C-alpha cells in the first residue's frame, strides 16, 4: 500500500469515525450527501453511497434523535451497544479494554484530544466503535507520512500495528455490528453508516494484508 492509498483510506476511516463521534447537525448532513455523490463514482453499486445521497430526505430532528436512540439511550428500543466488549459478548473485565488502550498509547492516540463533543470524550471506554475507527485512520495517516519522509521501516511497523489491531479487535465484531445497525436504523444516514461499517469489516483484511489496494483517491 503506497502513501496515496494509505491517505485515501485514512480519509475513509476518519469519515466513518466522524459519523459515530458527532451529532448529525445540518452542516454534517449536507456534507454526507456531498460525500455520497463522490462515493457513487468510486464505489458504484454500493448501498452506502446511494443512501448517503438521500440523507436529507429525513428531517434533521429525526436523524439527531436516531443518533441518540441507537448509540446512547438503552431504553430507546433501538439501542445498539457501540462497544467491542458488549458486541463480542465477553464478560465485563479489564483485559480487553486494556489491550485496546495499550494500542492507543503505543501509537500516541488519545481519544480525549479528538475534536468531538465533550460527552463523547467522557465515555471513558477505549472500545467505543468511533474511537477504534479513528485510531485506524490515524495509523494509516501516520504510516503514509513516514513513507513520504523516507522512513520505510517505521511506516511498515505502523501498518503492522494496524493489521494487529484489526485482527485482535475491530475485525472481531465490526461486520456484525454494521449488519445490526442496518436492521435497526430507520433514517438513511444510519442505514448508510451500517453499510459503511460492513464494508470496513469485509475489506479491512484485504486492505491491510496486500501491497495493492483499490484506491479511493
Written in H, E and C, the secondary structure of 103-170 is HHHHHCCCHHHCCCCHHHHCCCCCCEHHHHHHHHHHHHHHHHHHHHCCCHHHHHHHHHHHHHHHHHCH
Summarised one tens digit per residue, pLDDT across range 142-166 is 999 998 888 888 888 998 899 899 9
Q: From CA 142, how far away is CA 139, in angstroms rounded?
A: 5
- Positive or negative torsion for Cα 167, 120, 142, 153: negative
121 is written with which cell numbers?
470524550
Which DSSP string corresponds to 9-52? HHHHHHHHHHHHHS---HHHHHHHHHHHHHHHHHSTT-HHHHHH
Give residue 94's pLDDT.
Answer: 62
Residue 206's pLDDT band (boundaries 50, 70, 90)? Answer: confident
Q: Among candidates 192, 174, 95, which has minimal Cα distance to 133?
A: 174
pLDDT at 25 over 80: yes
Q: How many residues does the chain have?
A: 217
* Mean pLDDT value across the chain: 90
Per the CB < 8 A criterion, the answer to whether 172 and 191 are in contact is no
Task: Identify whether the C-beta of residue 205 lies closer than 8 Å to the C-beta of residue 166.
Answer: yes
pLDDT over 80 at 203, yes or no: yes
Residue-wise pLDDT for 41-80, tens only, equals 999 889 999 999 999 999 999 999 999 999 999 999 999 9
Count CB-CB contacts under 10 A for residue 142.
Answer: 21
pTM for this prediction: 0.92
pLDDT in tens, 75-111: 999 999 999 999 998 766 668 999 999 999 999 999 9
pLDDT surpassing 70 at residue 9: yes
d(CA 110, CA 90): 24
User: Region 203-213: what's the mean pLDDT?
Assistant: 62
Q: Alpha-carbon distance 175 to 163, whole Å?
A: 16
User: What's the pLDDT score for residue 22?
Assistant: 96
- CA–chain centroid gap for 197, Å, is 7
Amino acid at each position: 500500500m503506497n502513501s496515496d492509498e494509505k491517505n485515501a483510506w485514512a480519509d475513509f476511516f476518519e469519515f466513518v469515525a466522524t459519523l459515530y463521534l458527532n451529532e448529525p447537525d445540518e452542516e454534517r448532513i449536507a456534507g454526507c450527501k456531498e460525500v455520497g455523490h463522490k462515493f457513487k463514482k468510486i464505489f458504484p453499486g454500493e448501498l452506502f453511497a446511494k443512501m448517503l445521497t438521500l440523507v436529507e430526505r429525513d428531517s434533521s430532528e429525526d436523524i439527531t434523535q436516531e443518533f441518540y436512540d441507537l448509540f446512547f439511550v438503552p431504553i430507546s428500543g433501538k439501542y445498539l451497544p457501540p462497544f467491542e466488549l458488549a458486541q463480542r459478548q465477553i464478560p465485563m473485565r479489564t483485559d480487553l479494554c486494556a489491550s485496546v488502550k495499550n494500542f492507543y498509547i503505543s501509537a500516541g492516540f488519545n481519544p480525549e484530544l479528538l475534536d468531538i463533543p465533550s460527552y463523547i470524550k467522557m465515555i471513558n471506554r477505549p472500545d467505543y466503535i468511533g474511537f477504534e475507527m479513528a485510531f485506524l485512520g490515524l495509523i494509516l495517516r501516520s504510516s503514509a507520512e513516514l513513507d513520504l519522509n523516507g522512513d520505510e521501516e517505521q511506516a511498515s511497523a505502523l501498518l503492522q500495528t494496524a493489521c494487529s489491531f484489526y485482527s485482535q479487535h475491530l475485525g472481531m465484531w465490526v461486520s456484525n455490528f454494521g449488519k445490526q445497525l442496518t436492521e435497526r436504523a430507520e433514517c438513511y444516514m444510519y442505514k448508510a453508516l451500517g453499510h459503511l461499517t460492513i464494508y470496513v469489516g469485509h475489506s479491512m483484511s484485504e486492505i491491510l494484508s496486500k501491497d495493492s489496494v483499490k484506491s479511493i483517491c
